[in-house]
Chains A and B, each alone.
Chain A
Amino acid sequence: MSNKPNANGLGAPLARLSRRRFLAATAGVSAVVGAGTTFPLAARADAGLVALVHTQAAGDSGPIDSMMGRLNQLSEAQGFETRAIYAQDPATYETVLRTLGDAGASIVLGTFPVISEAFKAVAPIYPDTRWIQLFGDAVDPPIGNLVTVSYDYYLGCYLSGIFAAHVSQSKQIGFIGGISIPPINADFNALQAGVHAVDPEASVTAAFAGSFQDPAKGYEIASQMFLDGIDYIQTDSAATDGGIIQAANEREGAMVSALDPAQYPLGPASVIGVVSLDFGQSLHNETSAALGADWQGGRHVPTGLGSGVIDFLRSPLYQEQGPAAIVARSDEAWPAVEAARAGILDGSVSVPFNTEL
């Protein structure tokens, strides 16, 4: 029973620790430490913790940043604790949600359709927690403590198409999406429908960067589109947009319709407008409702034009600093955009939701 070092220079007790045991012990310690540091929630549950589980990275100058900002504002105004948790790996969604449920979080918000299944699986297990999925389809059958919110963003893209067909001189319109997924495809099809409603001969070209966080790829795609004669690009690609706007900044008369008013300063003379989806406002609306005593779960909330969340907006900076001729054309085009918006709201204009390319 010698305890002298073995060939590896390790003492016998350490040598007896097999790799499997070591890995198991490490995983256990990691889980405990991770749960303790990431979600030190138990102490806060009484005060009412509101957690935002976002499946796309922050720093997009768009939806996630907007939601986190509004959640923090609401937290300061109403005095509840918040946590923003970036769930990057789909395999961890359910674990993250269960951990929040176990900790007694009062409200859990989740983003985008990818987290739907995890919400459906976890919400019934924690009936005292109010679950809100932002950008999700209706759940059938409804779950009593779950609200899903959908966004008819494609309607804003339709208005952008109407606008583009009027302001484009080349009558060549571009669309750059992050990834070709059904909602993004629907946005492209709605843009195309808007363009063709004004000018059936105009061309509309789609391209995808393959990522929502690759401005360099966005720059290359936009550069090639502008070289091909496209003079108006609708973006739908989060942080990739930065490269698209920079490419537009280098070309006289190039126009970009982006995603968020925060992008106006990135291209004062190129970002002509935005198809705005104010996720922050939506989060504010739903969280405020869920903080109330009369909150009703088991609902689906469709959000479209006229809600203050989705709209097509012109950039005031572009109106001041953009080329005068284009600004004049945009002024002439605006009544057509307003007419289309009114038509959608009163039901006289129907925009198909087509997710196929």
Chain B
Amino acid sequence: MEKTKINITDEVAIHISEMNKWYGNFHVLRDINLEVMRGERIVVCGPSGSGKSTLIRCINRLEEHQKGRIIVDGTELTTDLKNIDKIRSEVGMVFQHFNLFPHLTTLENCTLAPIWVRETPAKEAQEIAMEMLEKVKIPEQANKYPGQLSGGQQQRVAIARSLCMKPRIMLFDEVTSALDPEMIKEVLDTMIQLAEDGMTMICVTHEMGFARQVADRVIFMDDGQIVEQNEPESFFNKPQSDRTKLFLSQILGH
């Protein structure tokens, strides 16, 4: 499949400069500099513990950074709660363990935030939710509870739930890692479709096939640093750093 790159604009969606983060004395993220353009699709990979999840969790401040700047959609992340809530409602996030609300139906999961955060009227919120559930191809599960769905279906509901807030940026944190192999494809297909619609996406993932097919840029992290970034073609075929080569040989080698 030929990849379309016409989506990328020259408008900056996320600007991260000289960003550092510590857990206690442990230096998790070191001098991160990253600029994400609107419409760009980025895949972040790296060994476990390299800080890739922490990096994207800093973008909607599920984690606090201690040094440097993060500017999302023109709003800088500071301790100001208003800015944080504003950014969180613009940035969607999908988690490894879905984190659906088990006490609410699929539809209610999708309408909760629009109704309470965006103050969308309930009826309109339901229409949007159904539209998004159609998009992830599970409208028929709208009135079931998350506990009644398969892992793949739950993850697609989680994607729909984020999309209902009409986010301008989507963060995916190892969204296929907790899934059975036969369910990975349905989730990846949903993400590919989203990418084709021009969503700005940052995906932490080990799915290298997905990276090749969808990403505009692949970022490799190790020990809290961005070690290498490139277009997928060059990244996979001509990696520069030794650490990247080692990592790629380990995950592609078998």
**Do A and B come from the same complex?**
no
**Residues of chain B having any CB pair with chain A under 8 Å:** none
